[in-house]
């Protein structure tokens, strides 16, 4: 397997090209510029490839919508403040049932915040983000290789459900360099494109719209989308477990913080503290069942995230009052260390042991 050293942002770009993406539209924002710059260089080499540095995030997401309507695999990327601007377009993509892949390399916020890694866009990503009753599938990789691997999955999910898919990373994942292989990445499946607009040659004209003045039709459209989202919840949950079988405390963390948590858990295990990890890979649909099943045996859950507490809401909903939730969060672009987390978790672990005695 041939590997090359690449930044996470560039790896996303190469993986997109190999997944059949022919249209990339983006607006510069740190910490994801390496992706936009990679696509500026790479897209002209792709047959039919299009790169536009758009005038805004709003324009970029609408260009994605246009390219998707015309049948292309299209992608845009941004970071937190820019993602706020893209929400209008994502709502329309969901309403129009159009595939698209959107990457958010999250940075500290709210407002301008800073350009350091954060996980504070969790709720925006997992609750739709824009207006209206909709959901997007959210993938949360935790290494450069996983970023690359997430891209073909994201395009396939987008095409098979005709829905926008978000890859939620952060500034650290985007900018760090790791060895990555693209050997296995290719566009495998061909999806029916019987809805796209190409000019009505030899067929009735098609229309794609989200305006439904008739409230009954709008309601039915909402229920139709709801049924689609239920299907995603049943079929698309992805997660990883790490040392959970004998654990007395289970950390729940995703992306960069899951990686930090693994480092901390290795140290905890050296001290014979029985701590494991459940790592959601899809943040929506959320791996509710594995957490609920684990709660039949484990009492203590430890939510760790780089925010003041957003993932914790889904853990609460999953546990439905069972178990005890511990929490450690560092917002604002601070990257906690494994040693720091090791100390915090071990303190909570010993306190829980005292309570149990």
Partner 1 sequence: MKTVYTRPKILKEAHFHYCPGCGHSIVNRLIAEVVEEMDLRDKIICVAPAGCGMLLYNYFDIDTLESAHGRGAAVATGIKRVLPDNVVFSYQGDGDLAAIGTAEGFHAANRGEPITVIFVNNGVYGMTGGQMAPTTMLKQVTTTTPSGRNHIHAGHPVKVCEVFAVLDGTSYLERVAVNKPSAVIKAKKAIAKAFQHQIKKTGFSLVEILSPCPTNWKMGTIQACKWIDEVMVKEFPLGVIKEVK
Nearer to partner 1, 209 or 357 (CB): 209
Nearer to partner 1, 25 or 342 (CB): 25
Nearer to partner 1, 1 or 200 (CB): 200
CA 215 vs CA 210, 222, 223, 326: distances in Å: 12, 10, 12, 44
Binding test (CB under 8 A) with partner 1, winner from 89, 99, 152, 323: 89
Smallest CA-to-CA distance from 165 within 341, 357, 16 is with 16
Binding test (CB under 8 A) with partner 1, winner from 56, 337, 351, 353: 56
Which pair of structure tokens corresponds to residue 47? Answer: 């047959």
Q: How far is the CB of 209 from partner 1 (least distance, A)?
A: 4
Binding test (CB under 8 A) with partner 1, winner from 68, 124, 175, 256: 68
Instruction: Give the three-class secondary structure for 32.
Output: coil
Residue pair 79/107 in contact by the 8 Å Cβ criterion: yes
- DSSP conformation class of 129: S
Nearer to partner 1, 192 or 204 (CB): 204
Cβ-proximal residues to 123 (8 Å cutoff; 6+ apart), any chain: 310, 313
Q: How far is the CB of 64 from partner 1 (least distance, A)?
A: 6
Q: Does 338 bind partner 1 (CB under 8 A)?
A: no
Contact range with partner 1 by CB under 8 A, out of 70-78, 280-288, 300-308, 327-335: 70-78
Nearer to partner 1, 198 or 351 (CB): 198
Binding to partner 1, residues 187-206 (CB under 8 A): 197-202, 204-206
- DSSP conformation class of 43: G
Smallest CA-to-CA distance from 75 within 153, 13, 137 is with 13
Nearer to partner 1, 75 or 125 (CB): 75
Q: CA-CA distance, 236 to 286, in Å (whole number)?
A: 9
Q: Does 65 bind partner 1 (CB under 8 A)?
A: yes
Which pair of structure tokens corresponds to residue 169? Answer: 């990373």
Q: CA-CA distance, 269 to 238, in Å (whole number)?
A: 25
- One character per residue 199-238, x = contact with partner 1 (rule: CB under 8 A): xxxx-xxxxxxxx---------------------------
Indicate the burial class of 209 (C-beta count within 10 angstroms; 0-12, 13-18, 19 or more).
Answer: exposed
Residue pair 298/249 in contact by the 8 Å Cβ criterion: yes
Binding test (CB under 8 A) with partner 1, winner from 30, 37, 40, 58: 58
Which pair of structure tokens corresponds to residue 292? Answer: 């609920």
Q: How far is the CB of 35 from partner 1 (least distance, A)?
A: 18
Residue pair 81/109 in contact by the 8 Å Cβ criterion: yes
Q: How far is the CB of 154 from partner 1 (least distance, A)?
A: 19
Residues near partner 1, by CB under 8 A: 22-23, 25, 48, 50, 52, 54-56, 58-60, 62-72, 74, 88-89, 92, 96, 197-202, 204-211
């Amino acid at each position: 397997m041939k590997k090359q050293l690449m930044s996470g942002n560039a790896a996303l770009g190469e993986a997109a090209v190999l997944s059949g993406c022919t249209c990339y539209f983006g607006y510069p924002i740190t910490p994801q510029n390496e992706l936009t710059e990679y696509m500026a260089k790479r897209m002209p080499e792709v047959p039919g490839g299009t790169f536009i540095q758009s005038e805004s995030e709003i324009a970029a997401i609408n260009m994605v919508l246009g390219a998707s309507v015309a049948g292309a695999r299209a992608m845009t990327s941004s970071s937190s403040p820019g993602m706020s601007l893209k929400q209008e377009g994502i709502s329309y993509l969901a309403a129009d049932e159009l595939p698209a892949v959107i990457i958010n390399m999250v940075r500290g916020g709210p407002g301008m915040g800073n350009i350091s890694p954060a996980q504070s866009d969790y709720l925006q990503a997992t609750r739709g983000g824009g207006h209206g009753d909709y959901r997007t599938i959210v993938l949360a990789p935790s290494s450069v290789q996983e970023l690359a691997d997430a891209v073909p999955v994201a395009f396939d999910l987008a095409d098979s459900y005709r829905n926008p898919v978000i890859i939620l990373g952060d500034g650290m994942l985007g900018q760090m360099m790791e060895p990555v292989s693209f050997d296995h990445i290719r566009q495998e499946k061909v999806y029916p494109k019987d809805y796209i607009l190409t000019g009505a040659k030899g067929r009735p004209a098609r229309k794609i719209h989200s305006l439904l003045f008739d409230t009954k039709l709008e309601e039915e459209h909402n229920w139709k989308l709801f049924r689609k989202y239920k299907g995603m919840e049943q079929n698309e949950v992805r997660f990883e477990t790490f040392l959970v079988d004998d654990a007395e405390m289970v950390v729940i963390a995703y992306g960069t913080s899951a990686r930090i948590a693994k480092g901390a858990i290795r140290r905890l295990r050296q001290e014979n503290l029985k701590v494991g990890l459940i790592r959601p890979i899809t943040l929506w649909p959320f791996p509710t069942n594995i957490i609920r099943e684990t709660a039949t045996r484990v009492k203590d859950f430890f939510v760790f995230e780089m925010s003041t507490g957003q993932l914790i809401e889904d853990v609460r909903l999953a546990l439905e009052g069972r178990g005890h939730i511990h929490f450690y969060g560092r917002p604002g672009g601070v990257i906690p260390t494994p040693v720091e987390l090791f100390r915090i978790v071990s303190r909570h672990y010993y306190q829980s042991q005292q309570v149990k005695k």
